Structure 1
Amino acid sequence: MPQGKPSLPQLVEVAKGEQPSDHNHAAPKTLPNRQRSRGKDINVVPDSTPAAPIVISASGDIVLEYTAISSGNSHYWQVSSKLLMLGSPYFGAMLDSDKFMEGRLLAQQRQALVDRMASGAVNSSPGDNQDPMPAMLPIVKIPVSAKSELCGVEAIQIFLKILCFDLSETEEVQDAFHHDLRAQSSVLISKVIDLAEWFNSTKPIRTTLRAAQYRGGIKSKSSASVKVFTLDMLKLKERRIREMILISAFLGLDDILKAMTHTLIILGSRYWRHGLERPMIEEYPNWKYLSNGLEEELFHRRQCVLNTLTDLQAHFLRSYGGLESDEPIPKRKTTLGAAFSSRNLELQCRNGLDNGMQCDIFHLGQMTRFFALRTKTIFLGSTLVDENFYIDESDESPEQPAGLKEDGAHEEPQFAINQVIASLKQYPDYQIDNNHTGCGIRRRILPILDGVERFTADNRGLLGIQANLWQSPESRKQIAWSEKQGPNDHTVYIQFSRILKIDIPLHGAVKINLSPEDQARFMFTAAKYQWET
């Protein structure tokens, strides 16, 4: 078994009428119904004892026991060892009499029980002359770990129900079981997936959830709403979005994964506020840090979009003299003003009047104030302040924010990209006087922002990830924005709201008849932009 996985369980034989000495639960007066649970009760975990376990397999020959560390309560499920071993490679190896001592001990106890029933030493169950009483069945203890405690008893029960579901059941029974699974919330199913990975049983869980056509617990009538990106998705809580990403990646649901990853890129994550770091706790739900490179790729894609918007602001600050330029700014055909040669800058004033320089200085001040105070998309700070120097050396320290809960409710999420674009679009049409109409950047920045928004607001989720392409290492290199082997040193030429051309060193210009996803990738991973060609 893989290193770090749960240890093998201990098998305890329970004789008829005896109760284990380490259990304080009294047996109920009547046995529970031996039929499978139906509908919404699939995840209900009622009280149970070794003599009256929760029946998952009516003809089950073992009883699984799980004792939660947090509560100390024990839970019991009657299951079929044959179905359990067929459904799970982990339990198949663990209960194999040819591989482990626990499996051989189980075989001996099962044979001893058969011999006792054949000799008439014990009576069979009143409801089925072929089955022994649950109190006579051997007990297998499910290993307790931080992961199983994190997932909880409800998820363990659904996990066992999937592993022990008999595929030879009638079509009606299978339809009812699949209907029950589709009704389960994304919270529970994401925990079941965590357990499946922990117990090395992903294949049967994936197969069953696909057969049930599970789509995140969303009703069939509204399932179309998660196939494409909509603004309503931005209202979802981050935990819900991440659970849907985990489930859709696990099941290979291309449409949902693409829409949900696009949504998380637009919204940002409260777990990215201080950079990309794994949770510090020993065990955490997989949705908190997505595996298979997804977390790193989504973080990288968001940063690419934000860097593009930052470069756009820097372009106009540089044009008006607010930032140094390493090379002369090419003369724009639409500019009517004469060149101002003292700083190798071209006047941005459209009218070519004598106060053209004052017009540019005015707009530079208004632009800086708008970006720094209104949209808060740039920061003005001092290079003279040592961040490690503190004037107040008293013992009193500023109050620290409360730590994150499991859903991150104590910390606000990052700003959404669509809100940044909407804020930049509110740029007023400043003018120094009535003779300088349209000298500011509003008429120039709005078309460019429309072009950027064409990628971020597209209902196809152009920033998102497709499951079928991400699973293959070869295709992943073609679509990953963070892939260093890709063309990440190219220049994008922008004309108004569209990409004019893409220039890749040593390859020349790229034709623009690319897919929308490839255009988005080239747009936001460019090393350099020519914003006004």
Structure 2
Amino acid sequence: MATTTDAAPIEVAESIQVDGAEHEIVDIGTGGDVILEVLFENTRACTKSIPNETIQKLRNSKLPFPSARVFYRVRLDTLKKHSKYFEHLLGSDTFGEGRAISARFAELSLSSKDPSELPAGELPRIQITDEDDATRTIGREAVFKDMLRIIHGTTHSSKSITLLYISILVVMADRYDCMTLIARYVAGKFSSFKYPPTLDKTLEEVVRQKILIFYHTNQALRLSAATKELILRGSSRWSIYEETDSDFLAAWWDLPEGLEDELSYRRQRIILTISSLQTHFLSLYTSRTRQCKLGYDSSAACDSFQLGEMVKFMTRRDLLSLMPYQAVPPDDPEFIWPEAYTGDIELLIGLLRECPSYQIDKNHGHCGLRNKLLPALSYIKDCIDGGIGIKSQFWKTERSSQTWIPSPSTNNSNKKAFVVGGKAVGDDRPEKFFDFKSLNREDLTSGGRSLGVDKAARKLFLADKWDWIREVETEKEKERMSKSSYFRF
């Protein structure tokens, strides 16, 4: 017995003839009344591709990277409504594109033709160029298509959603000024997306892409965590020894709206604060003031012993460089100048925590650096944990009160400061002083939460000078602190 089936009609993609060649039309939604022709320029400066394997095949071919020319059928009113870029370009007679559309629509109106029902070849066509400088990625036309689909009220069509895909979508939304709609879509549709962890410092680009996404899409908690991570790990872009690399030209390598400078400055201030511990205690033990308060005959020897062990510990951990007193020209190839610390801040704190509990004899159990260092390191760590990440909404609306970078007007005096007796004279700017012993017990054990973690962090890391001495006055308190897991003695 024969059976018959009704075959579904096969949809034939619309095409357009341009410059003697036939090009397929990418239909975005329904009712499209203009053709948006986009030339996606690709150069050998591109470092990535969608899909991922395309870039390697192109590199192996040794041929110039091909550019993509794509024709999208879109609704003009929808495009102008959600994109300020297209509203400015096409919504008036300021630019030739806008004038050409108005003229073509006037012609169609005279002949009573509905543009949304006409074949692509009869519609006005706008040409724009999308350069590869912001993303350095081949294949971004698929992301551009999804951006247009989102603008037109439909969902994305790409099956594989990666961190690079979302990064490019956000970069394009920023460039074509439709961030409000795209940010809402990313935060909603991709809310369950598993952002890749960054367990290795070589994955700095991943951290930066996440920061860019979280900032533009208002994901506050994730932004705070990601910016904190970059501050702690550091960046190859912040080193004075790094030269500009073509790999560092994508948008996420220069974070927007002052974030790049802010994160770099916060890292500098945190490292300066931590280094002040070393400077402070070395200054104390090299001064004439006796640090051992026990009053034994061995107290003077105790100070000398502690100083020697302190220097030995720090030099072995590459935290202290002993410089010769003779003059050495900076360009002397035989002399190795110490470099600034570029490693992980948490690793630096961990190195300092390894300071042993040295004592010259059994009577000097609390005289060493360790007893003074660990409470300070614990407080610094707590301020780092809660107070150094960027708060998205505040940064966008109250940046002047959020930034750590001093305002140029902070010291607008024309007078030049000079030093007399170790003090700056002629500088009217009030000096910020952090006194560790001024913290009450609640501040010390809660990381400054009574003050507010943000304010506590600013007070600590933006100080000009630090006094890290916190005297333990009673034997009972000594015993309690020695048993405390918080101080990790």
| Same-fold call, TM cutoff 0.5 | yes
Alpha-carbon distance, 1:426 to partner: 0.9
Code of the residue aligned with 1:206 in structure 2: it is: T
Structure 1 residues 162, 109: closer, same or farther in 2, change over 3 A? Answer: same
**Equivalent in 426, 429, 444 of residue 372 of structure 2:** 444
Q: In structure 2, what is the Cα distance between the partners aligned to 1:205 and 1:270?
A: 29
Structure 1 residues 137, 150: closer, same or farther in 2, change over 3 A? Answer: farther
Q: In structure 2, what is the Cα distance between the partners aligned to 1:423 and 1:149?
A: 38
Note if contact 2:262-2:405 (Cα within 8 Å) is conserved in structure 1: yes
Q: 2:417 — aligned with what?
A: none
Alpha-carbon distance, 1:518 to partner: 0.4
Q: How big is each residue's C-alpha offset from its partner over 1:376-428, in whole Å with a ceiling of 9 and x where there is no partner?
A: 22323335221223479xxxxxxxxxxxxxxxxxxxx9311111111111111
1:263-342 maps to which residues of 2 (within 5 A)? 263-274=229-240, 284-321=249-286
Q: Structure 1 residues 377-386 or 516-525, which shifts more?
A: 377-386
Q: In structure 2, what is the Cα distance between the partners aligned to 1:481 and 1:104?
A: 48
Structure 1 residues 189, 239: closer, same or farther in 2, change over 3 A? Answer: same
Q: 2:352 — aligned with what?
A: 424
Structure 1 residues 149, 86: closer, same or farther in 2, change over 3 A? Answer: same
2:35 matches 1:63: yes
2:479 matches 1:515: no
Alpha-carbon distance, 1:266 to partner: 1.7
Q: 2:290 — aligned with what?
A: 346
Q: 1:41 — aligned with what?
A: none
Q: In structure 2, what is the Cα distance between the partners aligned to 1:182 and 1:447?
A: 52
Q: 2:148 — aligned with what?
A: 160
Q: 1:369 — aligned with what?
A: 312
Q: 1:360 — aligned with what?
A: 303
Alpha-carbon distance, 1:282 to partner: 12
Note if contact 2:183-2:216 (Cα within 8 Å) is conserved in structure 1: no
SS at structure 2 position matched to 1:320:
helix
Code of the residue aligned with 1:20 in structure 2: it is: V
**Equivalent in 432, 435, 450 of residue 490 of structure 1:** 432
Q: 1:121 — aligned with what?
A: none
SS at structure 2 position matched to 1:213:
helix
Note if contact 1:148-1:156 (Cα within 8 Å) is conserved in structure 2: no
Q: CA RMSD in A?
A: 4.0
Code of the residue aligned with 2:321 in structure 1: it is: F
Q: Structure 1 residues 424-433 or 302-311, which shifts more?
A: 424-433
Code of the residue aligned with 2:379 in structure 1: it is: G
Q: 2:79 — aligned with what?
A: 84
Q: In structure 2, what is the Cα distance between the partners aligned to 1:241 and 1:512?
A: 28
Q: In structure 2, what is the Cα distance between the partners aligned to 1:181 and 1:312?
A: 53
2:322 matches 1:380: yes
Note if contact 2:198-2:206 (Cα within 8 Å) is conserved in structure 1: no
Structure 1 residues 266, 92: closer, same or farther in 2, change over 3 A? Answer: same
Alpha-carbon distance, 1:75 to partner: 1.9
Q: How big is each residue's C-alpha offset from its partner over 1:66-110, in whole Å with a ceiling of 9 and x where there is no partner?
A: 233331332222212222122222222322464333323234444
Code of the residue aligned with 1:88 in structure 2: it is: S
Q: 1:210 — aligned with what?
A: 184
Q: In structure 1, what is the Cα distance between the partners aligned to 2:303 and 2:40?
A: 70
2:213 matches 1:242: no
Structure 1 residues 153, 381: closer, same or farther in 2, change over 3 A? Answer: farther
Note if contact 1:261-1:465 (Cα within 8 Å) is conserved in structure 2: yes
Q: How big is each residue's C-alpha offset from its partner over 1:359-387, in whole Å with a ceiling of 9 and x where there is no partner?
A: 3333222211221222x223233352212
Code of the residue aligned with 1:366 in structure 2: it is: E
- Greater helix percent: which structure? 2
Code of the residue aligned with 2:166 in structure 1: it is: I
SS at structure 2 position matched to 1:255:
helix
SS at structure 1 position matched to 2:434:
strand
Q: In structure 1, what is the Cα distance between the partners aligned to 2:31 and 2:432?
A: 65
Q: How big is each residue's C-alpha offset from its partner over 1:173-193, in whole Å with a ceiling of 9 and x where there is no partner?
A: x5xx28x79984443333333
Code of the residue aligned with 2:383 in structure 1: it is: F
Structure 1 residues 20, 149: closer, same or farther in 2, change over 3 A? Answer: farther
**Equivalent in 143, 158, 169 of residue 129 of structure 2:** 143
Q: In structure 1, what is the Cα distance between the partners aligned to 2:83 and 2:357?
A: 66
Q: How big is each residue's C-alpha offset from its partner over 1:131-182, in whole Å with a ceiling of 9 and x where there is no partner?
A: 233344343222243546735323332333333x14xxxxxxx5xx28x799
Q: 1:462 — aligned with what?
A: 387
Structure 1 residues 513, 501: closer, same or farther in 2, change over 3 A? Answer: closer
SS at structure 2 position matched to 1:270:
coil
Structure 1 residues 314, 499: closer, same or farther in 2, change over 3 A? Answer: farther
2:257 matches 1:262: no
Alpha-carbon distance, 1:311 to partner: 0.7
Q: How big is each residue's C-alpha offset from its partner over 1:198-244, in whole Å with a ceiling of 9 and x where there is no partner?
A: 33x1xx322342255249x5527x79xx9xxxxx7666832222222
Q: In structure 2, what is the Cα distance between the partners aligned to 1:514 and 1:391?
A: 50
Code of the residue aligned with 1:79 in structure 2: it is: V
Q: How big is each residue's C-alpha offset from its partner over 1:256-277, in whole Å with a ceiling of 9 and x where there is no partner?
A: 2222222222222121122899
Q: In structure 1, what is the Cα distance between the partners aligned to 2:36 and 2:182?
A: 21
Note if contact 2:26-2:72 (Cα within 8 Å) is conserved in structure 1: yes
Q: In structure 2, what is the Cα distance between the partners aligned to 1:246 and 1:452?
A: 27
Number of residue pairs matched by the alignment: 403
Q: In structure 2, what is the Cα distance between the partners aligned to 1:467 and 1:111?
A: 46
Code of the residue aligned with 2:73 in structure 1: it is: Q
5+ residue gaps, structure 1, are 1-15, 28-48, 119-123, 167-173, 227-231, 326-343, 393-412, 503-510
Q: Percent identity?
A: 25
Q: In structure 2, what is the Cα distance between the partners aligned to 1:426 and 1:497?
A: 25
**Equivalent in 19, 28, 33 of residue 17 of structure 2:** 19
Structure 1 residues 350, 53: closer, same or farther in 2, change over 3 A? Answer: farther
Structure 1 residues 65, 499: closer, same or farther in 2, change over 3 A? Answer: farther
Note if contact 1:241-1:264 (Cα within 8 Å) is conserved in structure 2: yes
TM normalised by structure 1 equals 0.65
TM normalised by structure 2 equals 0.70
2:119 matches 1:196: no
Structure 1 residues 292, 130: closer, same or farther in 2, change over 3 A? Answer: closer
